Amino acid sequence: MYNEDMPTRAELPSSRKLIRSTVIAILAAIALLVTVVLPAEYAIDPTGVGKVLGLTEMGQIKQQLAEEAEIAEAAEIAEGTVNASVGDAAPSEAIQPAPTEAQKQNWQDVVTVTLAPGEAAEVKLTMEKDGIAQYEWVTNQGHLNSDLHADGSGRAFISYRKGRAEVTDAGELTAEFDGSHGWFWRNRSDVTVEITLNIRGAYSDIKRML
């Protein structure tokens, strides 16, 4: 059996090259952090690149939604609404059945999202101004905080409705402007929640953003 020869010292990279490669890698990571991660996650854009790429707006929306979720959670704790809603609700109110196959046929799209306790998700429709979409979402157990909102070009943002400790919601969404319109949910219960979202109407695309 033949074993490959070990590399000679001359063939190994020098300490200077290793240090140079390490420095380059660190600088590249810092550049990505400053130009991509900070704007997209925290709306911090010291270079202005995030604004050009549209990442700063994304970060602003995420920060606003996170703040709203924290405020809602604090209000729930202060008012004792979570324990009351879960403890007093009848089984038929706390757990909503998933739509039947016959019901699904009336919807344009059916999206299912699963959230562990504390997790969040966001689903958006691409809509034009004055477009109308009908929707219905329901959980299989537990409860959610929700925010139906939209964002578009020029930092446009609107919140259509907010909900706390909800198990379902249905209605009609009319787009205030061209852009992304949809739902943010956070699981504030202590069980894993499956959301079934049924949608139909005037939209060109549907995406899970988070």
Question: How far is the C-alpha of 200 from the C-alpha of 136, rounded, in Å?
Answer: 9
Q: Is the separation of the CB atoms in 147 and 112 below 8 Å?
A: no
Q: What percent of the chain has pLDDT over 70?
A: 70
Question: Three-state DSSP class for 169?
Answer: strand
Please give the single-letter amino acid code of residue 151.
D
C-alpha 116/C-alpha 8 separation (Å) is: 53
Least confident of 20-24, 26-30, 77-81, 84-88: 84-88
Average pLDDT (27-38) is: 79
- Which residues neighbour 5 within 8 Å (Cβ) at sequence distance 6 or greater? none
* Owning domain of residue 41: 15-53
Kindly indicate the confidence band of residue 79, based on its pLDDT and cuts at 50, 70 and 90.
very low
Looking at the structure, do residues 97 and 49 belong to the same domain, yes or no? Answer: no
What is the reported pTM?
Answer: 0.54
* Cα 65-198-134 angle, rounded to 5 deg: 80
Task: Quote the pLDDT of residue 137.
Answer: 97
183 and 111 co-located in one domain: yes
Number of domains in the chain: 2
34 & 97 share domain? no
Alpha-helical runs (H) found in the chain: 15-32, 38-42, 49-53, 55-79, 81-88, 91-94, 101-104
Host H or E run for residue 139: strand 132-139
152 vs 86, which has greater pLDDT?
152
Do 196 and 100 belong to one domain?
Answer: yes
Q: Does 110 share its domain with 201? A: yes
Average pLDDT of every residue of the chain: 78
Q: Are strands 132-139 and 157-166 parallel, antiparallel or unpaired?
A: unpaired
Low-confidence winner among 65-69, 107-111, 198-202 (lowest mean pLDDT) = 65-69
Phi and psi angles of residue 151, each rounded to the nearest 5 degrees, phi first: -140, 145
Same domain, 127 and 31: no
pLDDT category of residue 187 using cuts at 50, 70 and 90:
very high
Residues 43 and 133 in one domain: no
pLDDT at 91: 35
Q: pLDDT grade, residue 110 (50/70/90)?
A: very high
Q: Within 10 A of 166 (CB to CB), how many other CB atoms are there? A: 17
Tell whether 48 and 112 lie within a shared domain. Answer: no
